[in-house]
Amino acid sequence: MELNLLTFIYLIASVTFIVGLKMLSHPASARNGNRVAAVGMTLAILGTIFLYEEDGTRLGNYGWIFGGILIGTVVGTLAAKRVKMTAMPEMVSLFNGMGGACAALISLVEFDHLAHLDPVMAGVLLMANAAGALKGFLLIIVIGLVIGSVSFAGSIIAWGKLNGSIKDFSFKGQHLFNILLLGIIVALASYLIIFLPANAIFIFYTIFFLSLLYGIFFVFPIGGADMPVVISLLNSFTGVAAACGGFLYENKVMLTGGILVGAAGTLLTILMCKAMNRSLTNVLIGSFGGGSKVGTAAGTAVGTHKEISLSDTAVLMSYAAKVYIVPGYGLAVAQAQHACHELEKLLESKGVDVKYAIHPVAGRMPGHMNVLLAEADVPYEKLLEMEQANEEFSTTDVVLILGANDVVNPAAKSDTSSPIYGMPILDVELAKHVIVNKRSMKPGYAGIENELFFRPKTSMLFGDAKKVLQDLVAEIKNL
């Protein structure tokens, strides 16, 4: 009866994961989707703790289990409440890394169980008469170990790169070194599983160490502008590693969750590559945005820009019929989303139609700008995706760009030598007037000059986004 009840709980939890993931596909239902999935996970955890039995024995150790849950809950809650929206990408990377670490630890623990099946032969992995039955089990353990370790180490490097504590690092022949390292890992894993050698423990921990090393060098040379794609890819790795844990324990809900995470991460990676018009291979070996590896020298002037004053901007926007706001990382850094929403409401009170144009890879992670604006209570229906916005720019009076750079760079359509050539962009240049708010003329995350800044329709409004928007609101109120 208890087993049937636990199976039913796992089924309910699996359904909540699927429903929650579906709800996450739309901003209006995303928060509730997260709650639905969280309820399912809570049911699965409690069901496992109190109902799971092996050989008639319950888990026990409730003090250790709930102590760990309490510590994790407190740390996670405090971290989530204190994190700034600009730091959300690195937090996602860090949490994803912890998932990979858990998957790797599961493999380490289960291998230790296998390695000591015969206490007399501590150095022998498997007894001969059990080899056939346990090779498949060992295969899942090794896959979980390798993928989980790569995900953990790579995510930690990505976290450090996003918060600026780790710089891009590469050396001549690094990609060949990575391929060689991966080949050694695969060869050792194959040897371990097929031949079950007497030094299996040594080989297993060598694979563990090399997998961590590969995860580090896998992410090190990848440019900063490609970190969102890398995080998504590593997230899919973590899902696969978690699914391996589900296989090991014959746990349906763990298997379902891992498969969903792995599949969602893979699809998101593909979509982001498409949004940048780049293949995954190019992302992993191209070092886009990696400092020195750019197609156009950073800071190379391609014309003369013109500036616009706050008062002229206020007049221009106040008497416009349609205004589009293009948010970017500069908006997030300045924590200017609330000031932006105030400007939007003020303009609408004057009869101006105000909408937001969101590029798929704006910010530092997918959905970064959507979440940022949702935090300021900007209505979801005002957030238009790139394809929708591009259809309306030709009838737009003013486009206000707040900290966005590469996603509005016309070089993506005209300069075949540019590293972003072919990337779909927001066609803001079709509007009657383009106003760009930036702190300076410094190039964007990809490290290349933006031709838009020197176009006849474009005017530069320099300054911190939050202060500029606050001053702009004051100017409009005084008109």
Give catalytic residue positions.
406
Q: Are 265 and 236 in contact (CB under 8 A)?
A: yes
Cα-based angle 73, 40, 44 (whole degrees, multiple of 5): 80
Question: Residue 432: which residues within 8 A CB-CB, separation 6 or more?
Answer: 396, 397, 398, 457
- The answer for 53, left when phi > 0, alpha when psi is -120 to 50, beta otherwise, is beta
Cα-based angle 338, 342, 346 (whole degrees, multiple of 5): 170
- Cα 183 → chain centroid: 27
Neighbours of 96 (CB within 10 A): 27
**3-state SS assignment for residue 26:** coil
Q: Supply the DSSP string of 205-237, one letter for each residue.
A: HHHHHHHHHHHHHHHTTS-GGGHHHHHHHHHHH
- Cα 439 → chain centroid: 26
Please tell me the distance from the alpha carbon of residue 224 to that of residue 228, in angstroms, as a whole number. 9
The 10 Å CB-count burial string (b at 16+, else e) for 417-426 is: ebbbeebbbb
- Tokens for 224, please give them: 């900063």
Residue with tokens 């979440």: 371
Distances (CA, A) of 278 to 271, 285, 407: 10, 11, 14
Torsion of CA 192, 193, 197, 199, to 10 degrees: 40
Q: Which of 167, 312, 286, 172 is nearest to 230 (CA)?
A: 286
